[in-house]
Amino acid sequence: MTVRVGAHVSISASKASNDPEKPPHGNIANAVFRQEQFGGNCGQIFTHSPQVWQNPNIDDGEADLFKSETDATLEGPWVIHSSYLVNLCTPKDGLREKSIDSMQREIDAAEQLGIPYVNVHLGAHTGAGVEGGLENAASALDELSIPEGVTVLIESDAGSGTKLGGKFEHLAQVLELSEQDLDICLDTAHAFAAGYDLSTAEGVEETIAELDDVVGLDHLKCVHLNDSKHACGTNKDEHAHIGEGLIGEEGMNAFVNHSAIADVPLVLETPTEDGKSFAWNIDRVRTLRNEA
């Protein structure tokens, strides 16, 4: 089985392609060409800067080109990552409404682009308490109009401060409380930072078994595959190259070769540093899978 692995790539026009027949500026299809350059066959995008409240601005021509180029060159799927400003757990009415509006626009963009998943962090409860924050998140998600063919994925978190999603129980509770058909995205660096030891084969087995027991592996639709620059349980979220962080080669090898992960798309959010880019990390994943 061909591993589905790719990167979170930019949609910006700069350095998207040297081919004069490719769209040169401002076209979301730049993400497809960039993914090809890295050697990926699936991936993730932001539809706009994740640091500001901004709406996706995609015309039908761009969307059609994105879909046709994806169908022609990639196995898929794509994932849209929501804005970092979205906070579903917030008790603040203004932020809640902005978060719901932002999520709805990302969902609408996913439908327009033929993208099956929109990924989101639960956010921070900022004083509402764990239970209150999870209830806020579920009720916010219930206000969304999610069309057939699009699924919202709740991403696991590193769990610092009042952020929720660091425990598998948080993910399970939101899935149970919400009336929507939701699934999850597991981030390996986040899970490691939150205290799930993925650095050994035994730790990987235990973590995946716990995920299955608490949430259910049938809900696992995407993995953000990242090594970690910080130790297990530190709640520090900083990504490292695959096999070169504190999860390390043994843990990464065990994880990517686990039967539960065999057909789950792996999206890299690894750094570009030390002369290593997404291409190096994608090749690294394929090498580890070939060692099984």
Transcribe 21-84 into DSSP letters: TS--SS-TTHHHHHHHHHT-SSEEE-SS-TTS-------HHHHHHHHHHHHHH----EEEEPPT
**Hey, where are the domains in the chain?**
5-290
Superfamily per CATH, domain 5-290:
Divalent-metal-dependent TIM barrel enzymes (3.20.20.150)
Nearest to 62 by CA among 102, 22, 34: 22
* pLDDT tens by residue, 135-179: 999 999 999 999 999 999 999 999 999 999 999 999 999 999 999
Measured CA to CA, the distance from residue 82 to residue 150 in angstroms comes to 14
* Cα four-point dihedral sign 266, 75, 102, 14: positive
Measured CA to CA, the distance from residue 165 to residue 173 in angstroms comes to 10
Q: What is the mean pLDDT of the chain?
A: 94
Please state the rounded mean pLDDT for residues 233-253.
Answer: 98
Given its phi and psi angles, is residue 227 left (phi above 0), alpha (psi -120 to 50 degrees) or beta? beta
CA angle 15, 270, 193 (to 5 degrees): 155
pLDDT(21) > 90:
no
Buried b (16+ CB within 10 A) or exposed e, 223-237: bbbbbbbbebebbeb
Phi then psi for residue 45, to 5 deg, are -140, 160
Measured CA to CA, the distance from residue 270 to residue 239 in angstroms comes to 6
- Position 17 scores a pLDDT of 47
* Residue 224, strand partner residues: 187, 267
Half-sphere exposure of residue 105, counting CA atoms within 13 Å on the CB side?
18
Question: pLDDT-based confidence at 11, cuts 50/70/90?
Answer: very high
pLDDT(24) > 80:
no
* pLDDT tens by residue, 186-229: 999 999 999 999 999 999 999 999 999 999 999 999 999 999 99
Please state the rounded mean pLDDT for residues 237-245.
Answer: 98
Tokens coding 223: 């993995």
Query: Residue 272, Cβ neighbours under 10 Å: how many?
Result: 13
Phi then psi for residue 103, to 5 deg, are -65, -40
The model scores a pTM over 0.85: yes
pLDDT(128) > 80:
yes
